[in-house]
Amino acid sequence: MDSFRSLRAAVGILLAASCGIVHAEVVRAPDSKLISRPELKFVLDQRQSESRQLATLLHEDSGGKRTEVALIEASVAKGRARVAVRSFAASADMGIATLERLYTLVLRMDPEAGFCFTQGTGGCDASLGLDSHSDALRRIALARENALTRAAAPGASWRPVSMGLVETGSRDPDVVSVRLSSAGVPLADVRIFFNQAPHSACVGKTDADGVAKCRLVDEHGDEDEHAGELRAVVATFPGDVKAEPVLPPTTYIVRAGGS
């Protein structure tokens, strides 16, 4: 089953630091319906130590030769996960494929982390601040659109959606809502998944104004062990690959976590 493994340690388990042992493995990069050229093979070289996790995305040609095309580095600073994403594919074609792979990988990462996405040789400048998960995804999507235009390459266009806060109209803190739009136009009849660690969730469908609302239900019900902790509420738009342009999935922090 190893061939079906995808980037795992760096996607959501960012804070699982341990004994300083370095673990490394090479796995196939995960597939996605966002990938326009599935015949291009990519693998991930994953390395993990106590303080950071490094995933190198490599293109593998038909002869088995591997070329580094992107790097994802996750670390923890001041209690917050930070993810630096850098794409440095040489050709335009490879750039598009790399960005599609990166979108798939970053989508699966901790939505509460701070992100920094760069292209080319430049590194991240932390002093400029970090992006949210949704902003990082938007940057990658826009970079892909630009690469598509520059290369005059065929490929479905992507249009990132936006989610924003909207009053729930309820005093119940478990009632959550967001407004979903694309290019300023509300998107109706779309299911939005709300999730709160460790195990609360609900699903709301957007109305004509693009507003989805529901009440979080604790799916697990252990005995209030998390009382006093403020856990983030994350909204997920699952994407629409049949739409034209394609609406790629994204997340939104409805309520930030903290202690």
Partner 1 sequence: MNRSKQTLAKTTAAAVMLAFIGNASAQFSPQTELHLDAATRNTLGDADLMNNIRYYFCGYTDNPGFVNIVRSWNTIKIPLTQIAGDTWYLGSKYVGQYILRSPTGFVLVDSLNNTAEARDLTIPALQSLGLSASLPLQGVYLTHGHGDHDGGANYLRQTLNPPIYLGSGDANNKAYNPIRIDSTNLAPQPITIGGRTLTLIPTPGHTPGTMAAVIPVQDNGREVNLLVTGGSNMGGLSTVYPYLDSLERTYALAKAMNVEGGMHPHQFFEGTLQKILDSGLSTPSQYVVGNDKYMRGLAVWRECTAAFASNLDATAALPVWRASKTEFIAASPAPNRLAARVFNGWGPVAGQQVSFTLEGRGTACTATTDENGVATCKSSLGPLKGKDDLVTATFAGAEGSGYVDLGSKVTALANNGCADLAAIRAAMGARAGDANYASRLDVDQNGVIDGRDLSSVTRDIQPGFCK
What token pair was written down for 51?
A: 């303080």
How would you write 93-136 as a 3-class SS string? HHHHHHHHHHHHHHHCCCCCCEEEEEECCCCCCHHHCCECHHHH
The CA-to-CA distance between both ends of the chain, in Å, stands at 39
- Peptide linkage before 38 cis (omega within 30 of 0): no
Nearer to partner 1, 150 or 205 (CB): 205
Structural contact between residues 79 and 256, judged by C-beta atoms closer than 8 angstroms: no
Judged by CB under 8 A, the stretch of 68-76, 138-146, 173-181, 193-201 that binds partner 1 is: 193-201
Q: For residues 119 and 250, which CB has a smaller minimum distance to partner 1 in the complex?
A: 250
State residue 80 phi and psi, 5-degree precision. -120, 135
- Which residue lies nearer to partner 1 by CB, 93 or 240? 240
Which residue has 């070289």 as its token pair?
A: 45
- Binding segment for partner 1 among 121-129, 134-142, 143-151, 248-256 (CB under 8 A)? 248-256
Residue 146 near partner 1 by CB under 8 A: no
Task: For the segment 80-119, give every residue that binds partner 1 (CB under 8 A).
Answer: 104, 107-111
Does position 221 bind partner 1 by CB under 8 A? yes
Out of 77, 203, 230, 256, name the contact with partner 1 by CB under 8 A.
Answer: 203
Pairing of strands 233-237, 250-255: antiparallel
Does position 152 interact with partner 1 (CB under 8 A)? The reply is no
33 interacts with partner 1 by CB under 8 A: yes
User: Which residue is it, tokens 């792979």?
Assistant: 101
Residue numbers of the site for partner 1 (CB under 8 A)? 1-6, 8-9, 11-13, 15-19, 21, 23, 25, 30-35, 48, 104, 107-111, 193, 195, 197-199, 201, 203, 217-226, 234, 236, 238-241, 248-249, 251
